[in-house]
Structure 1
C-alpha cells in the first residue's frame, strides 16, 4: 500500500488560515484534486473532515481524531491514533490511500508517505497551518504541470 499526501501550499509552506485557504479559489486545482482522490480511501483530521462534511472526498474517510463523537456517516471510520489509521487503511484493499491534512496529520504521516502531490501556489501568505518541510535528499521531483495560478508537483520518496 502507498500513502500519498495531497496538499496545496504557498511558497512559505502555508496551507491554511482560520480553517480556510488563504488564497483565492483555484477551480482547476479543486477539479484535479477531486478526480485524483474520488475512488480511494482518504485520511484526514477532524477539523479538515468538518470543513468538508457537506462534500466528503474519497470513497471512504478515515478521520484521525482523539474525539470519537460526530462520525455518524456511513463512509466515515474513526481512528484514535496513527497506528489505528494505518491498520484501517490496510483493510481497505486498495493500493493507494491519500493523506489530506490538516497540518498535524501531514506531520504525523510524513515518515510514512511514499508520494506527495503538491499544488504549489506562488506567493507568501499569512496563515496558521503549515505543510511540513521535507529533506530534498530523500525526495525526488518526478513531474510538474503548470496551471493558471499554480503548479502541480509530484514527488516520490527515494528508495533506501
Structure 2
C-alpha cells in the first residue's frame, strides 16, 4: 500500500497560519480534491475538524485521545501503524496523508510519495511542512498552473541513493 502526502507549501515552507491556509487558490483546491477522491485520507484531529466536508472516501484521524466521529466512515488511530492497518482493512492500495504539520512529520519516514503544490512567495505562518532530504526522492512530474506548480515526488529505492 502506498502512502502519499499532499500539501500546499510556500517558498519558505509555510503550510498554515492560525489553522488556516494563508492563500486562496481555488484551482489548487479543486485538483487536490479530485486527486484524493475515492481514496482513504489520513489527518490529525485538528485538521480533520477544520473540514465541513473532508476530501476522500474514508477518514483516518490520528489522535492521542480515543474519539467517536459522526461520520460512519471516520476511524480513530493512535499511531502511524494503526492508521496503516485501518487503511489496509478498507482494501485500499493507496492513502493520502493530508496534515497537519505533526502528521506530515510522523508519516515522512513511511511515505512512498509526495504531491506538493508549490506556492510562490514567502508567507507568515506558524505551521510548516517538514524538511526532507531531496537525495531520497525523485521528481517524476511537474504540472504548471496559473499561480502555482504541482510537483509529484517518489521515494528512491535504497540502491538508487
Quote the residue 1:62 is aligned against.
60
Q: TM-score, normalised by structure 2?
A: 0.95
Once the two structures are overlaid, the 10-residue window that deviates more, 12-21 or 63-72, is 63-72
State whether structure 2 residue 2 is matched by structure 1 residue 2: yes
What pairs with 1:50-89 in structure 2 (closer than 5 Å)?
A: 50-52=49-51, 54-89=52-87
Please give the alpha-carbon distance, in whole angstroms, between the structure 1 residues aligned to 2:154 and 2:22. Answer: 27
Please give the alpha-carbon distance, in whole angstroms, between the structure 1 residues aligned to 2:79 and 2:109. Answer: 15
Quote the residue 1:119 is aligned against.
117
The secondary structure found in structure 1 opposite 2:42 is: strand
In the alignment, is the contact (CA less than 8 A) between 2:68 and 2:76 conserved in 1? Answer: no
Aligned length: 158
Quote the residue 1:101 is aligned against.
99
Quote the residue 2:27 is aligned against.
28
Please give the alpha-carbon distance, in whole angstroms, between the structure 1 residues aligned to 2:70 and 2:77. Answer: 13
Structure 1, unpaired ranges of 5+: none
Quote the residue 2:11 is aligned against.
11
Structure 2, unpaired ranges of 5+: none
Please, what is the CA RMSD of the aligned residues? 0.9
The secondary structure found in structure 1 opposite 2:82 is: helix
In the alignment, is the contact (CA less than 8 A) between 2:119 and 2:147 conserved in 1? Answer: yes
Give every structure 1 segment of 4 or more consecutive aligned residues whose post-TM-superposition deviation is greater than 2 Å. Answer: 67-70
